[in-house]
Amino acid sequence: MGLDVRMPMGLMFSVLGALLLVYGGLTLGRPGTAPTGVPINLVWGLFILLFGLVLIFLARRAR
């Protein structure tokens, strides 16, 4: 198949991670945003963004 599935996945997770990261940054410190003391949107958004970028990198390298 001509489409490398890592490319759309990488794009989606990069956008999703960036959304969570920015939203987490904007709402940092507000009540109800840090379950068990962890600013989870910020932390997990960053992780998902990095995951998405790795997928894009792998897809581009395989071309």
Partner 1 sequence: MAPTLQWIDYAIILLYFAFVLGIGVVLRRYVRTSEDFFLSGRSIPAWVTGLAFISANLGAQEVIGMGASGAKYGIATSHFYWIGAIPAMVFIGIFMMPFYYGSRARSVPEYLKLRFDEKTRALNAVSFAAMTVLSSGVSMYAMGKLLNLLLGWNFDTSILLAAGIVLAYTFLGGLTSAIYNEVLQFFLIVLGFAPLVFLGLREVGGWSGLVSRLAARATSNGLPVDAYTRSWAHMGHAADNPIGIEWFGLVMGLGFVLSFGYWCTDFLVVQRAMAANSMSAARRTPLIAAFPKMLFPFLVILPGMLALAVHPASGVRATGGGPPAAVTQDASSPAGLTESNGIVPPKLDPTTGAPLRDLRGNIVLDYDLATPMMLIHFFPAGLLGLGLTALLASFMSGMAGNVTAFNTVWTYDLYQGYIRPGAPDSHYLTMGRVATVAGIAISVAAAYVAAAFNNIMDFLQLVFAFVNAPLFATFALGMFWKRASGHGAFVGLIAGMLGAAIHHGISLPVGASVGVKGGYLGTWVTFPSELAQTFWTAIVAWMTCFVVTILVSLMTTAKSAEQLQGLVHGLTPSMADQSRVWYERPAVLAVIVLSATVLLNVVFF
Residues near partner 1 (CB under 8 A): 1-3, 5, 8-9, 11-13, 15-16, 19-20, 23-24, 27, 32-36, 38, 40-41, 44-45, 48, 51
Question: Can you tell me the distance from the alpha carbon of 45 to that of 39, in angstroms, rounded to the nearest whole number?
Answer: 10
**Nearest-approach distance from CB 56 to partner 1, in angstroms:** 14
**Nearest-approach distance from CB 48 to partner 1, in angstroms:** 6
Q: In terms of C-beta density within 10 A (0-12 exposed, 13-18 middle, 19 or more buried), how is residue 26 classed?
A: exposed
Cβ atoms within 10 Å of 54's Cβ, excluding its own: 14
**Nearest-approach distance from CB 54 to partner 1, in angstroms:** 11
